[in-house]
Amino acid sequence: MLKNDNPVSAACTAWEDLQPLFRPGSIAVVGASEKPGPGLQVLENLERLGYKGDIYPVNPKYGKIRGILCYPSLTAIQEAGRQVDMVAILLGRDNIASVMEEAAKIGAKAAWAFAAGFGEAGEQGKELQERIKRICDEKGIRFLGPNCVGYLNIAQGSGTYSAPAPTELRRGNIGMVAQSGYLSIAMANSDRGLGYSLMVSTGNEMVVDSTDCIAYMLEDPHTAVIMAFIEQFRSPEKLRAVAARAREVGKPIILVKVGRSEMAQRATCAHTGALAGSDAIQDKLFKKLGIIRVNDLDEMFETAQLFSTLQGRFPKGNGIFAVTLSGGVISLLADVGEGLDLRFPEWSEAGKAELGEQLMSFSNIANPLDAWGSGRIESTYKTCLFAAAKEDEADVVLVVQDVPTGMAPRQAEQYAVVAEAAAAVSKQSGKIVVLLANTSTGFHPNIRKILDEGGVPALQGTREGLRAIESLVRFAAICRLPSREERISAQALAVPKGVGKGLTEYRSKKILSAFGVRCTREILTQDPDACAAAAREIGFPVVLKVMSPQILHKTEAGVIAIGLADEGAVREAYPRLMEKAHVFAPGAEIEGMLVQEMAEKPVAEVILGITRDPQFGPAVVFGSGGILVEVLKDSALGIPPLSEEEALNMIRATKGYKLLTGFRGRPKADVAALAKALVQVGRMAACGENIAGLDINPLLVYPQGKGVLAVDALLELR
């Protein structure tokens, strides 16, 4: 991460901070060579990029390399009256620190190192990496890597890239950042047809990290779409700031974030020396922030292709009108599209009438539409597409047609009609038109040219294409939402400080009540007489519970008595429960005996709580009570603070939601009050930085208008 005490301001200043790295006026290549390898490759790539700055090869073995004057050291460049903006280091691990010391002395502003064997390679490597980082921090040097292949700034003709640059350097509006050097190369060499502005490999991210690079791309006028392959984010706070800026400027961040599986998490740690956080929490955070998480590189490519071609055009909703030439494809779309946040609305009566005049009488006018008709697609296809574009609910017109490179000439001519119709509808209707090929076999060059000139995105792969459209729809929706300032509530003062400490139920529920969560009526007492008096005040029957910070799981210790119907039962239970507490935890601190009302029978029992990821912070956990959460893992996560709609979506996401809706004669539960409780706990999670976890179990949900009630709670502090 760039040296800045405030992660948010670091994200905001990345554009200025990284200019010496990505747009240097001069580059010294330490370890330059005439021999094939990275030391030669960097020079060749600079030549291919058309770099217009000064290049200073550094190697005492040479007088010139590729006709360029070679220097014995960085100091020699300075002594010759030259200024070095950036230092590219193509030497082994053990030589990097001394080169960086020299770079600092001559006033270099940026550096990059190809070598591996640092933070990912044991204590010696970590110590060496820390030594180099101290040099960079002291002098403000923007260091890329180590353990990475560098960058290609295709839009502005600069780069320190140690692998052979792609045969065709396609300039476009896509920025790419990857922590993996190998996958950086693979993505650069892909023949998917994507055009790039800036491609960066970040490696160990000793100083400059992936989020810094994304922040830079958000301000780069040459970049409209950002692809990222990430093993580990270093600063969640900075990620939040960058994601907010991405929504503000309308540039999507399309992310492959590995580490879903335990095996991938171990590999991440071994590869980069970084620890992986909870994937479930990260996934929810990405969705909340508007970051588009995709499953693999294929899905990333298709999503980037879609955004890149549309150049900032977004649909107003998720209504899709699809036109194809095959009934089988319609079934395929239905299967693959199930579960996605896409709608296929019915045709309007006017649309049906218009299509009825063009298609055969036996044609089924549905969405998706089989436009084959009598087979005269030259005359019918354009009509069908224009009819789709005229539908009020058509946010995207989807042309589903495979147009592979290996088609026979006659077939290519026939399907060119489809492409021409798509381009015409896109231009004349103003609607977003997308062509989707079901197979990943590329596109016939003649047809691809028609689509490109018409501004029609060409996607391949049914699943990848539909998911890309879903991502487009979702990003458009989140960009339309008003920004919500997250203020820390004064209620945060209700959360005490403590290290690794669990609070008793009584103290936990006092804090819950301060945040507006309704809890059982209860009184903490210190002797049998006070206990009996409290029971009379609350009203029988009552529950007794021993309160001790050393006995947080009271049922296990046997220090609970329920359904005590009179004063005699209370006085009998008091000494018995106290004795059990002392036997279970000798020497335990006893806060007192809690006298609690017996709660009425609810419609349902649920659990509600807070969990905290060591990297990404808190999440709200909601789940069905009893066996559903234990056996079926029926729970949902949300990132605080929660809106009421987010809380409702969490509730609806559980299998137990049916029990709250009047299932089999049950009364309908007070879902509105339950959602409010989720919002309140979310507020508590957002402003309680010292909260390690919270468990409200059970939270009773009563019929509509009757609210919810927290019966037991355990709050743990960090």
Q: Could you give the CA distance from residue 43 to residue 32 in angstroms, rounded to a whole number?
A: 8
DSSP class of 661: B
| CATH 3.40.50.261, domain 311-480, yes or no | yes
Give which of 665, 678, 670, 508 is closest to 594, Cα–Cα: 508
Q: Could you give the CA distance from residue 647 to residue 402 in angstroms, rounded to a whole number?
A: 42
CATH number of 19-147: 3.40.50.720
Of 313-317, 373-377, 545-549, where does mean pLDDT reach its minimum? 373-377
Which tokens is 201 given? Answer: 């490999």
pLDDT at residue 634 is higher than 90: no
The three-state secondary structure class of 309 is: helix
Q: Could you give the CA distance from residue 423 to residue 417 in angstroms, rounded to a whole number?
A: 10
Q: Where are the alpha helices (DSSP H) in 311-406?
A: 327-337, 349-356, 377-390
Cβ within 8 Å of residue 129, ≥6 positions away: 118, 119, 146, 204, 206
Query: Which residues in 105-132 are b (16+ Cβ under 10 Å) and which e?
Result: ebebbbbbbbbbbbbbbeeebeebbeeb
Band of pLDDT at residue 363, cut at 50, 70 and 90: confident
Q: Delimit the domains of the chain by residue range.
A: 19-147, 166-293, 311-480, 521-597, 604-717
Q: In sequence order, what are the beta bridge partners of 142?
A: 110
Q: Between helices 409-429 and 377-390, what is the axis angle to 10°?
A: 30
Average pLDDT over residues 632-652: 93
Q: Could you give the CA distance from residue 269 to residue 231 in angstroms, rounded to a whole number?
A: 9
Question: What is the average pLDDT score of the chain?
Answer: 92
Cβ within 8 Å of residue 502, ≥6 positions away: 549, 552, 714, 715, 716, 717
Q: Could you give the CA distance from residue 286 to residue 272 in angstroms, rounded to a whole number?
A: 22
Q: Could you give the CA distance from residue 218 to residue 249 in angstroms, rounded to a whole number?
A: 8
Q: Could you give the CA distance from residue 490 to residue 478 in angstroms, rounded to a whole number?
A: 29
Average pLDDT over residues 150-172: 95
pLDDT at residue 486 is higher than 70: no
Question: What percent of the chain shows pLDDT beyond 90?
Answer: 80
Cβ within 8 Å of residue 440, ≥6 positions away: 298, 460, 461, 464
Q: Where are the alpha helices (DSSP H) in 162-319?
A: 181-189, 210-219, 236-249, 262-272, 279-289, 297-310
pLDDT of residue 369: 95
How is 675-717 classified by DSSP, letter by letter? Answer: HHHHHHHHHHHHH-TTEEEEEEEEEEEPBTTS-EEE--EEEEE
The three-state secondary structure class of 607 is: strand
153 and 27 in contact (C-beta within 8 Å)? Answer: no
pLDDT at residue 10 is higher than 70: no
Q: Could you give the CA distance from residue 245 to residue 239 in angstroms, rounded to a whole number?
A: 10
Q: Could you give the CA distance from residue 304 to residue 311 in angstroms, rounded to a whole number?
A: 11
C-alpha torsion sign, points 193, 198, 202, 205: negative
pLDDT at residue 6 is higher than 70: no
292 and 302 in contact (C-beta within 8 Å)? Answer: no
Question: What percent of the chain shows pLDDT beyond 70?
Answer: 92
Average pLDDT over residues 546-570: 96
| CATH 3.30.1490.20, domain 521-597, yes or no | yes
Question: What are the pLDDT digits (tens) for 661-712?
Answer: 998 888 999 999 999 999 999 999 998 788 999 999 999 999 999 999 999 9
Which residue, chain included where needed, has tokens 């460049």?
77
At the second CATH level, the architecture of 166-293 is 3-Layer(aba) Sandwich (3.40)
pLDDT of residue 215: 97
CATH number of 604-717: 3.30.470.20
Question: What are the pLDDT digits (tens) for 233-272?
Answer: 988 889 999 999 999 999 999 999 998 766 655 554 444 4
Do the domains at 311-480 and 604-717 have one common CATH topology? no
pLDDT of residue 628: 61
Assign 3-class secondary structure to 64-79: EECCEECECCHHHHHH
CA atoms within 13 A on the CB side of 553: 3
Band of pLDDT at residue 422, cut at 50, 70 and 90: very high
Query: Which residues in 151-164 are b (16+ Cβ under 10 Å) and which e?
Result: bbbbbbbbbbbbbe
Give which of 238, 235, 157, 165 is closest to 198, Cα–Cα: 157
Of 76-85, 631-640, 674-683, where does mean pLDDT reach its minimum? 631-640
Give which of 323, 319, 309 is closest to 355, Cα–Cα: 323
Q: In sequence order, what are the beta bridge partners of 605?
A: 700
Cβ within 8 Å of residue 312, ≥6 positions away: 224, 250
